[in-house]
Amino acid sequence: MAQVQTESCRIFHHMHRIEFRQIVRDAEIAYAISPVVRRHHLTAEETEKFLLELRIPRAANVARITHRLVVNCPQKASSELAAQS
């Protein structure tokens, strides 16, 4: 019984490591493309469309992360600058 639980835990942890690596990779792609998305004022839907055309895995997730970076980061940066003034 304990051996079955141990094997189950190993599989569970392995799956979580795979998912974590995918999330990190998505965030790295999103960070890399965010200047282009910002410059061209692309929506999340437009970004996803282009990522799908480029056959980027998990394009919808990458597009959502990119959109959050583009939309939230400039607002946060400007509010921090205003607070310093």
User: What are 40's two structure tokens?
Assistant: 């061209």
Query: Residue 5 — pLDDT band, cuts 50, 70, 90?
Result: confident
User: What are 29's two structure tokens?
Assistant: 């792609």
C-alpha angle with apex 38: 32 to 42, nearest 5 degrees? 105
Q: Are 77 and 41 in contact (CB under 8 A)?
A: no
pLDDT computed for residue 78 by the predictor = 45
- pTM, two decimals, is 0.74
Q: What is the pLDDT of residues 37-57, one digit of tens each?
A: 999 999 999 999 999 999 999
Q: What is the pLDDT of residues 57-84, one digit of tens each?
A: 999 999 999 999 998 876 554 454 455 5
Mean pLDDT of 9-16: 90
